[in-house]
């Protein structure tokens, strides 16, 4: 097996391309990440690692593709009804890991839960509600015209409302979101995704097994089991791959790229992301930052090209504006321009 090392630039990672499978999915894949999921409750924490877990064990309504467009997933189609309303049609016959069938009541349950999550509620603040038309048709409604509605729909991974309803033997609500605590959802899971969590030791090992009733039977691939081992230290993680201990690692720091290039049995996969790193100038705390000439001087003093070339080893692009190439509203071509940060508290 040719080993893979991934040096993802940004936040796309596996979230845009979960491991696929076919009827012959019987291979075991050993992966090493810098950390493992801190919980099984996908609404407890918003992070890259938790989004990767969401795509492996759940499915979103729509998904980003590598061209930063949208692919239909659990929502097979959508249409604009008016300036504040988007109507979605769910796929029929989709099963949760519990055996329950996906319907709009699960989407409504998930939407309401996201509005309560500490980490997600700000993202869903523009939404005023959800209208249920029938078992497979629903509408997302915003309080005013909102151009990022589909972007936000990529965060909606329908949860099994029947599985997460009721109370535990200890009297705790199964749908409770407990930040950094113990809850039913933090240790139990029922999604619609390609893999189930077979076993988990926090900080040690997570085993995923293929979900035989996964709806997307046409996806290619041969992975039936995944073993995820968290290895925080960069050199140790890369060494584990080069020695054959694991088959796939992420992320790969720029300082280890030479080790990768010198290994004939490894393949480096890169992908552009959407993350913009910038230097904020708080004009409320520093009086000088209110002067545009001061901000211009600082902007000119920062060697973006040098940072991209030397520190990031070429795995970064000097920013010209507040959104990366291919994002809607980005000017084309992506010309270099001076960014003057706005006041920020």
Q: How many CA atoms lie within 13 A of 64 on its CB side?
A: 22
Q: Does domain 59-192 have CATH number 3.90.76.10?
A: yes
Q: What is the pLDDT along the chain (345 residues), one digit of tens a residue?
A: 445 554 433 333 333 344 444 446 679 999 999 988 999 999 999 988 899 999 999 999 999 988 888 999 999 999 999 999 999 999 999 999 999 999 999 999 999 999 999 999 999 999 999 999 999 999 999 999 999 999 999 999 999 999 999 999 999 999 999 998 899 999 999 999 999 999 999 889 999 999 999 999 888 778 999 999 999 999 999 999 999 999 999 888 888 887 887 888 888 887 777 778 888 899 999 999 999 999 999 988 999 899 888 888 777 888 776 665 555 555 544 433 333 333 333
* CA distances from residue 114 to 68, 95, 145, 274, 281 in whole angstroms, order as listed: 23, 21, 20, 23, 32
Exposed/middle/buried for 271, CB within 10 Å: 0-12, 13-18, 19+?
Answer: middle
Enumerate residues 6+ apart whose C-beta is below 8 A from 134. 104
The domain segmentation of the chain, as residue ranges, is: 3-34+195-272, 59-192, 276-345
Q: How far is C-alpha 267 from the geometric centre of its chain's CA atoms?
A: 23
* DSSP code per residue over 18-43: ---B-TT--EEEEEEESS--S-S-TT
Q: Give the global pTM.
A: 0.80
DSSP annotation of 309 reads I
For domain 3-34+195-272, give the fold: D-Maltodextrin-Binding Protein; domain 2 (3.40.190)
């Amino acid at each position: 097996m040719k080993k893979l090392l991934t040096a993802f630039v940004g936040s796309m990672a596996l979230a845009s391309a979960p491991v696929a499978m076919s009827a012959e999915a019987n291979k075991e894949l050993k992966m090493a990440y810098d950390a493992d999921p801190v919980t099984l409750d996908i609404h407890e924490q918003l992070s890259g690692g938790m989004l990767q877990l969401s795509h492996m064990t759940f499915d979103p309504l729509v998904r980003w593709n590598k061209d930063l467009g949208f692919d239909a997933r659990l929502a097979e189609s959508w249409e604009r009804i008016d300036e504040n309303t988007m109507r979605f049609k769910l796929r029929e016959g989709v099963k949760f890991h519990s055996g329950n069938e996906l319907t709009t009541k699960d989407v409504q349950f998930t939407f309401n839960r996201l509005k309560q999550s500490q980490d997600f509620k700000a993202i869903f603040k523009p939404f005023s509600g959800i209208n249920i038309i029938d078992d497979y048709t629903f509408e997302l409604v915003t309080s005013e015209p909102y151009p990022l509605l589909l972007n936000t729909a990529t965060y909606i991974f329908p949860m099994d409302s029947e599985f997460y309803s009721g109370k535990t033997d200890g009297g705790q609500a199964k749908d409770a979101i407990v930040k950094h605590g113990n809850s039913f959802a933090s240790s139990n899971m029922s999604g619609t995704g390609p893999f189930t969590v077979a076993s988990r030791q926090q900080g040690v090992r997570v085993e995923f097994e293929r979900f035989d009733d996964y709806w997307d039977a046409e996806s290619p691939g041969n992975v039936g089991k995944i073993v995820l081992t968290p290895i925080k230290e960069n050199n140790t993680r890369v060494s584990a791959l080069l020695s054959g201990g694991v088959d796939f690692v992420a992320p790969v720091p720029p300082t280890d790229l030479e080790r990768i290039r010198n290994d004939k049995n490894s393949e480096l996969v890169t992908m552009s992301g959407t993350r913009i790193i910038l230097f904020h100038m708080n004009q409320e705390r520093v009086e000088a930052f209110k002067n545009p000439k001061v901000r211009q001087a600082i902007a000119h003093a920062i060697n973006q090209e040098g940072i991209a070339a030397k520190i990031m080893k070429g795995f970064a692009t000097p920013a010209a504006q507040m959104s990366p190439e291919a994002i809607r509203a980005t000017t084309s071509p992506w010309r270099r321009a001076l960014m003057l940060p706005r006041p920020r508290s």
